[in-house]
Amino acid sequence: EAQVTQNPRYLITVTGKKLTVTCSQNMNHEYMSWYRQDPGLGLRQIYYSMNVEVTDKGDVPEGYKVSRKEKRNFPLILESPSPNQTSLYFCASSWAGDNSPLHFGNGTRLTVT
């Protein structure tokens, strides 16, 4: 089954404790992206990757890192999480090209205390 898989689904952590949210897709998509979703603000892009070893900032990249060492994986790293990073995070992937729809994972709900 074609899918984008994120882990974990739920995560509670404390301020400053480094964490990684994993994302994997099995559709051989070139493009991958991370979004965060907050009430009243909608989905906002954090980082994206056009292909292996090619990443770039989205609209809200502060406090996040990503890497794209393999085509299928695109982990999101929070080196020193803060409470304002409490949010619902989505990974997405698609083929290259503006008319390719994004396929989303089921989300990771992160709480930073």
- Binding residues (CB under 8 A) for other proteins: these are 4, 31, 33, 40-43, 45, 48, 50, 58, 90, 92, 94, 96-107
Burial (0-12, 13-18, 19+ Cβ within 10 Å), 4? buried
Nearer to other proteins by C-beta: 65 or 104? 104
Residue 74: CB minimum distance to other proteins, A: 13
Nearest alpha-carbon partner for 48 in 62, 33, 66, 60: 33
Nearer to other proteins by C-beta: 74 or 90? 90
Nearer to other proteins by C-beta: 42 or 62? 42
Residue 87: CB minimum distance to other proteins, A: 14
Please report the DSSP string for 52-81 in residue order.
Answer: TTEEEE-S--TT-EE--SSSSB--EEESS-
- Distance (Å, rounded) from C-alpha 19 to C-alpha 26? 23
Nearer to other proteins by C-beta: 40 or 113? 40
- Distance (Å, rounded) from C-alpha 92 to C-alpha 106? 10
Residue 15: CB minimum distance to other proteins, A: 26
Residue 49: CB minimum distance to other proteins, A: 10
